[in-house]
Amino acid sequence: MYVSDPLDLTSRTAIVTGGTKGLGRVIATTLLNHGAEVIVCAR
């Protein structure tokens, strides 16, 4: 039996602000692991 990934973000783009450390970095990494194209903005 195949169960689809509920967080399949293939062909999605996400913009993460403050993504160089802390929570923003974890969110960016998680989005990448689920197939999203991630754009990180930081100071």
Residues 1-43 have pLDDT tens digits of: 677 778 899 999 999 999 989 999 999 999 999 999 999 998 8
Q: What does the alpha-carbon distance between residue 22 and residue 13 come to, in Å, rounded to a whole number?
A: 21
Q: What is the pLDDT of residue 1?
A: 65
Q: What is the pLDDT of residue 6?
A: 81
CA neighbours within 13 Å on the CB side: how many for 36?
18
Of 19, 5, 4, 10, which Cα lies nearest the Cα of 37? 10
Q: What is the pLDDT of residue 14?
A: 97
Question: Which pairs from 17-24 meet CB under 8 Å and 24+ separation?
Answer: 17/41, 17/42, 18/42
Q: What is the pLDDT of residue 3?
A: 74
